[in-house]
Structure 1
């Protein structure tokens, strides 16, 4: 049950990004959540998240998650997944990227799960090795 709720938050975030629905994106994060928007650059809190996602949505990203792994310890969960993102540059060139994502979520007092940290670039250390 908990795993399904956690997975649903990830899927809701990806769907909201694909739809360009900023309010729905922010609804998947805690108020002071963190996004690794670009490798080595983080955005924290709703205003910074809004700015980071606005830039990302300019490429009309469509994200597909290929696998999910969830590890839960009480009110904290780690979601790991592989993903593919397809989009288009403003001048019409197709973009396709693949990666490994790590997301930390926390169960709220009302039982809802929200993202605390979203790092879609979890594979960068492996690529450097």
Structure 2
């Protein structure tokens, strides 16, 4: 699955997040998309998602770096489920850099023109279940 077009889309999104290029990032989201900002907080629609990414960048002092790890893409019915490792690097309390790896889940929808757009962005993956979130 290394050559799946969604892999390149996610790599572009990771670069856009790291570069704070929110226009480029939003080009890969559907108008009706949802983003899990943190457990219990979901941004809905491109305007809210954009604001959430700006707030996340501010929170990490504009030093959040996002990269891909292992990835599986499963297609069905015009949708794709992406299960992957998301590597996050950000400032720690001691002035250094911390790293965490999340097992993320994403859903993409193939549009009529063939483009894949993200409809559900959940960098927390199934760990949301650990927080008893409904």
1:111 and 1:78 map into 2 onto residues whose CA distance is 16
The residue that corresponds to 1:54 in the other structure is 54
Q: Tell me, which stretches of 5 or more residues in structure 2 are unaligned? A: none
The residue that corresponds to 1:106 in the other structure is 109
Question: Alignment length, in residue pairs?
Answer: 129
Q: Tell me, which stretches of 5 or more residues in structure 1 are unaligned? A: none
Flag the 1:47–1:90 CA change in 2: closer, same or farther, 3 A. farther
**Structure 1 residue ranges (4+ consecutive) displaced by more than 6 angstroms after TM superposition:** none
Q: Does 1:44 align with 2:44?
A: yes
Flag the 1:74–1:47 CA change in 2: closer, same or farther, 3 A. same
Structure 1 residues 44-90: Cα deviation after superposition (integer angstroms, max 9, x where no partner):
11221011100111222111211010100031000110121001269
The TM-score with structure 2 as length reference comes to 0.85
**Contact kept? 1:86, 1:97, Cα under 8 Å:** yes
The TM-score with structure 1 as length reference comes to 0.88
1:44 and 1:8 map into 2 onto residues whose CA distance is 24
Q: Does 1:4 align with 2:7?
A: no
